[in-house]
Amino acid sequence: MDSLLTDIEAFCRKHGMAESQFGVLALNDKNFVGQVRNGRDLRISTVDRVLSFMKRVEADAAARSRAA
């Protein structure tokens, strides 16, 4: 899960997003990132939801930059 946490932290920096905001938007759980940092076990379905959220935000950002 270290890789996922590293990816989430980089994503938050890139998009100027607080970790609590990430948790709320991705999973409706403001404590998600902190819990992962503290060793929370994750289901594959949770990881899939997080990755899907990040891909969706990246795609939206790319579309906005192309339109600008």
d(CA 62, CA 59): 5
The reported pLDDT for the residue numbered 1 is 72
Q: 55 vs 1, which has greater pLDDT?
A: 55
- Summarised one tens digit per residue, pLDDT across range 8-54 is 999 999 999 999 999 999 999 999 999 999 999 999 999 999 999 99
pTM for the model stands at 0.91
The reported pLDDT for the residue numbered 2 is 86
- Summarised one tens digit per residue, pLDDT across range 26-38 is 999 999 999 999 9
Per-domain boundaries in the chain: 2-67
Q: What fold is seen in the domain 2-67?
A: 434 Repressor (Amino-terminal Domain) (1.10.260)
